[in-house]
Amino acid sequence: MKTIRDVDVSGKTVILRCDFNVTIIDGKIASDERILGSIPTIEYLINNNAKVIIMSHLGKVKTKDDAEKNSLFIVYERLCELLDGKVIFSSATRGPILEEKIKSLDYGDVLLMENTRFEDLNDKKESNCDEELSKYWASLGDIFINDAFAMTHRKHASNYGISKYLPSAIGFLILKEIEGLDIILHPERPFNIFMGGAKVEDKLDIISKLLPKCDCLLLGGGIANSFIGTIYNVGKSLHNDEKKEELLQLLSTYKEKIILPVDLKVLNNGDTYIRDIDKLDDNDNALDLGPKTLSIYKDIIKASKTIFLNGTAGKYEEHGFEDGTKEILTAISSSNAKRVIGGGDAIASSEYFNIHDFDFVSTGGGATLSYIAEGQMKCMEE
Ligand code: ADP
Ligand code: MG
């Protein structure tokens, strides 16, 4: 893949795909790691005399309501603080207003376009990599730089689509990710993975590809609940029960590698209980790992030479369910292994608990998992 240094951006209009899909809590950006991560590429383009059009998605946009909640304007305000020169915002994702604003740019100026997924209100054009939209966006610039690492596992109009119609290269953030993730692409063993979180559908598919590459896969969150749910009642807990057969197959093929919780912390009618995994009732909502599980997981983490964490052990944002996420992060950061974490919420939780000692922090969630599992990225036309 070409890198930003391999193309001549001077005097060009450059479309830069960033990943500004930040977590917003109480109207504030919870972690600006992803914005900060894009600054080297943006500054390089400014300093090399390009006009910069930045595109990014933010959240999912299925309704007009979603659009209101997921405006990139909040990111624009942060960008203005971080960059010296002129930064303008276009609330239009296509049409004359956007085009006029682009025409008004001087070399070294930056335009941030509103959430690319506003085009999903129009027949899911962005997420379905619509041909017309891809061509239209590509027509706004001369060169395409992709620096949205967290989207490298998806073929959308604003990454793969544009790359089909313009000379394209990766930015410094993706380059840094490729270098940093080498720790887990070529791991020292034992190589153990902790995987938790909520995006059950997205992650289940990847698990089968990760299992051959790691020694132990420790599970938490909705992923663990989904596996447990193939055998026991998980009540109201977050889980996926559409892939039971596949999960049971994995449990039998990788008996030794898949490590499931033995106890869970549940919420039931406003009260909290610790339950063994075979004792949950219909009203239980498992929101964290239990103490016996944490002790087993910590021992495995301690014995690792390479460890990777994605997602969170529990619903750490909810009072009373912070322990699992905090203790797993602490165990990893204080281990002697090479330590890599990745994922929007994995990073947000590490910041929330002020745990920062890792060898590499990958900004991708699904993208990181997919890259480790497949050893390549799908986001650009080769
Ligand atoms: P990442 O962004 O690191 O890839 P995810 O988005 O998949 O991680 O998951 C993080 C989210 O999962 C957090 O918001 C957390 O509250 C939620 N979560 C974790 N465990 C549970 C659980 N048992 N029940 C409900 N939500 C959970
Ligand atoms: Mg997340």
Q: Which of 199, 308, 312, 326 to mutate to test the pocket of ligand 1 (most atoms within 8 A of CB)?
A: 312
CA distance 5 to 329: 36
Task: Please give the distance, rounded to the nearest whole angstrom, from the Cα atom of residue 106 to the centre of ligand 2.
Answer: 36
Burial class (CB in 10 A: 0-12, 13-18, 19+), 227: buried
Q: Is the CB of 117 under 6 A from ligand 1?
A: no
Q: Which of 176, 179, 145 is nearest to 44 (CA)?
A: 145
Task: Look at ligand 1, atom 10, and give the residue with the nearest C-alpha.
Answer: 197
Helices 244-253 and 200-210 sit at what angle, rounded to 10 degrees?
A: 30
- Report how far Cα 355 is from the mean position of its chain's Cα atoms: 19
Task: Please give the distance, rounded to the nearest whole angstrom, from the Cα atom of residue 194 to the centre of ligand 2.
Answer: 15
Per-residue model confidence as pLDDT tens for the chain (382 residues): 899 999 999 999 999 999 999 989 999 999 888 899 999 999 999 999 999 999 999 999 999 999 999 999 999 999 999 999 899 999 999 999 999 999 999 999 999 999 999 999 999 999 999 999 999 999 999 999 999 998 999 999 999 999 999 999 999 999 999 999 999 999 999 999 999 998 778 787 789 999 999 999 999 999 999 999 999 999 999 999 999 999 999 999 999 999 999 999 999 999 999 999 999 999 999 999 999 999 999 999 999 999 999 999 999 999 999 999 999 999 999 999 999 999 889 999 999 999 999 999 997 878 898 899 988 887 887 6
**For the CA of 367, the nearest ligand:** 1
CA distance 282 to 303: 36
Q: Is the CB of 325 under 6 A from ligand 1?
A: no
Q: Is the CB of 235 under 6 A from ligand 1?
A: no
Q: Which of 345, 349, 353, 361 to mutate to test the pocket of ligand 1 (most atoms within 8 A of CB)?
A: 345
Task: Please give the distance, rounded to the nearest whole angstrom, from the Cα atom of residue 318 to the centre of ligand 1.
Answer: 11
Q: Is the CB of 229 under 6 A from ligand 1?
A: no
Q: Are 177 and 364 in contact (CB under 8 A)?
A: yes
Task: Look at ligand 1, atom 9, and give the residue with the nearest C-alpha.
Answer: 197
Tell me how crowded residue 263 is: count the other CB atoms within 10 A of its CB: 20
Task: Look at ligand 1, atom 16, and give the residue with the nearest C-alpha.
Answer: 315
Tracing tokens 């376009």 back to the chain, one arrives at: 113
Task: Please give the distance, rounded to the nearest whole angstrom, from the Cα atom of residue 278 to the centre of ligand 1.
Answer: 22
Q: Is the CB of 200 under 6 A from ligand 1?
A: no
Q: Enter the pTM of the model.
A: 0.83
Task: Please give the distance, rounded to the nearest whole angstrom, from the Cα atom of residue 276 to the centre of ligand 2.
Answer: 27
Task: Please give the distance, rounded to the nearest whole angstrom, from the Cα atom of residue 224 to the centre of ligand 1.
Answer: 11
What b/e sequence results for 166-201 when a residue is b if at least 16 CB atoms lie within 10 Å of its CB, and e otherwise?
Answer: bebbbbbbbbbbbebbebbeebeeebbbbbbbebbe
What residues form DSSP beta bridges with 142? none
Give me the pLDDT at residue 375, please: 86
Give me the pLDDT at residue 215, please: 98
Task: Please give the distance, rounded to the nearest whole angstrom, from the Cα atom of residue 242 to the centre of ligand 1.
Answer: 19
